[in-house]
Amino acid sequence: MGLLWEDRAWEEYLYWQTQDKKTLKRLNAVIRDIQRDPAGGMGKTERLRGNLSGWWSRRIDEVNRVVYYEQDGIIHIASCRGHYEK
């Protein structure tokens, strides 16, 4: 599956490239797993509710999450730093 990064998410991804290689390595592993199976797999997958219904969250570590949704075979990544906003 292809990836489409929201501007904010891409800036967060670039942050990890310069600030924390361990988190970047884990983030890349989570993204590869999302491409294989958007609804399950590593990172404690959670279906979001309320305003974010249809979106998914996966843990990168105890503080950071990847927030995304899949549409027409494309993974749309909204965030990859911090926790999702309600």
Query: Do the Cβ atoms of 27 and 38 come closer than 8 Å?
Result: no
**pTM of the prediction?**
0.90
Query: Which band of pLDDT confidence, cut at 50, 70 and 90, is reported for residue 86?
Result: very low
Averaged pLDDT, 6-19: 97
Residue ranges of domains in the chain, CATH in brackets: 2-79 (3.30.2310.20)
Catalytic annotation present for 83: yes
What is the Cβ-side half-sphere exposure of residue 39, based on CA atoms within 13 angstroms?
3
Which among 84, 85, 40 is positioned nearest to 66, based on CA atoms? 84
Cα separations (Å) of 16 from 24, 33, 43, 54? 5, 18, 17, 26
Which residue in the list 6, 11, 46, 62 is annotated as catalytic? 46
